[in-house]
Chain A
């Protein structure tokens, strides 16, 4: 799964720490999601979309990974 969180976060001028606080996760989790190392749960995906004032389908792009 790919995402555009980093781009969107910079567009709304928000730091990783701020986004982490708004979504009740650690900054490490935001870093892992932005670097495509962790796929968030549906609940967290909606929280991220809400915090970044956008929709889930604009934040996440589904791409099947053969290794998964």
Chain B
């Protein structure tokens, strides 16, 4: 397994974990109103775990994989050669043309529908948070599967 494959695999798991943790923190913020002490402790614990995962991710990419911070906003930040860049480009083009658009419509329509049908802002926020987390995890899974397919 080369460097780019290791980074794709590592970021796939850590990004999914971050999506779940952040989703849970946000969801809990809008629920369990009558159970404040436990809710607050849970939110704090989840937030600490999320920060820990973020620190591990930064350490792995910056120290272990030796990727400078200046490269992190580039979609090719983990690539080693032109074939990796070509794969990253094809994966991102496919996602931009299909998955991003699909989830933008879903995240834009369903929470508004929830509010229209039930008249509850809380329900709208909860559905928005769940859809956002599911959307990011779904895109992560698609990224990994497309990368594996193009890299094979």
Residues on A facing B (Cβ under 8 Å): 24-29, 32, 38, 40-41, 43-44
How far is it, in angstroms, between the C-alpha of A30 and the C-alpha of B82 when the chains are bound? 11
Give the complex CA separation of A40 and B82 in angstroms.
8
Bound-state CA distance A40–B151 (Å) is 14
Q: A28-B2, A28-B151, A38-B86 known; 13 other A-B pairs, CB under 8 Å?
A: A25-B80, A25-B81, A25-B82, A26-B4, A26-B80, A27-B2, A28-B83, A29-B81, A29-B82, A38-B83, A40-B82, A41-B82, A43-B82
Residues of B within 8 A of A32 (CB): 83
CB 8 Å contact bits of B134-152 with A (1 = contact, 0 = none): 0000000000000000010
Chain B interface size, as a band, is: under 10
- Measured in the bound complex, the distance between the Cα atoms of B83 and A44 in whole Å is 10
CB A68 to nearest CB in B, in angstroms, measures: 14
Q: Give the interface of B toward A (CB within 8 A).
A: 2, 4, 80-84, 86, 151
Kindly provide the distance from the CB of B134 to the nearest chain A CB, expressed in whole angstroms: 33
Residue of A nearest to B81 (CB): A25
Contact between A26 and B81 (Cβ–Cβ < 8 Å)?
yes
A15 to B86, CA, bound (A): 24
Could you tell me the distance between the alpha carbons of A28 and B4 in the complex, rounded to whole angstroms? 11
On chain B, the residues within 8 Å of A26 by CB distance are 2, 4, 80-81, 83-84
Complex Cα gap A38–B90 (Å): 13
**27 A–B contacts from the bound complex (CB under 8 Å):** A24-B81, A25-B80, A25-B81, A25-B82, A25-B83, A26-B2, A26-B4, A26-B80, A26-B81, A26-B83, A26-B84, A27-B2, A28-B2, A28-B83, A28-B151, A29-B81, A29-B82, A29-B83, A29-B84, A32-B83, A38-B83, A38-B86, A40-B82, A40-B83, A41-B82, A43-B82, A44-B82
**In the complex, what distance in Å separates the CA atom of A38 from the CA atom of B86?**
10
